[in-house]
Amino acid sequence: MNKILSVALLLLVSFTANAQDKKAKELLDQVTTKIKSYNNITIDFKYSLTNLKENINKESKGNVIIQGNKYVLNFMGVTKIFDGKKSYTIVPEDEEVTISSSNDADEKAITPSKMLTFFNSGYKYAWDILQDVKGRKIQYIKLTPTNPKDQRKEVLLGIDSQTKNIYNVIEIGKNGSRTTLTVNSFKTNQPLSKNQFTFAASKYPNYYINKLD
pTM: 0.82
Length of the chain: 213
With beta carbons less than 8 A apart as the criterion, state whether 198 and 86 touch: no
Q: Which pLDDT does position 1 carry in this prediction?
A: 52
Instruction: Give pLDDT tens digits for 113-138.
Output: 677 888 888 999 999 999 999 999 99
> Which residues lie across from 106 on neighbouring strands?
none
Instruction: Give pLDDT tens digits for 78-93.
Output: 999 999 999 999 999 9
Question: Topology of 2-67+115-199 in CATH?
Answer: outer membrane lipoprotein receptor (LolB), chain A (2.50.20)
User: Minimal CA–CA distance to 181: which of 79, 110, 102?
Assistant: 110
Sheet holding 56-67, edge to edge: 123-133, 136-145, 152-160, 166-173, 178-188, 41-51, 56-67, 70-75, 78-82, 86-91, 96-101, 208-211
Mean pLDDT of the chain: 86
Q: Which pLDDT does position 20 carry in this prediction?
A: 54
pLDDT interval class at 16 (50, 70, 90):
very low
User: 10 Å Cβ neighbour count for 50?
Assistant: 15
Please state the domain extents for the chain.
2-67+115-199
User: Residue 7: enclosing H or E segment and its boundaries?
Assistant: helix 2-36
pLDDT interval class at 185 (50, 70, 90):
very high
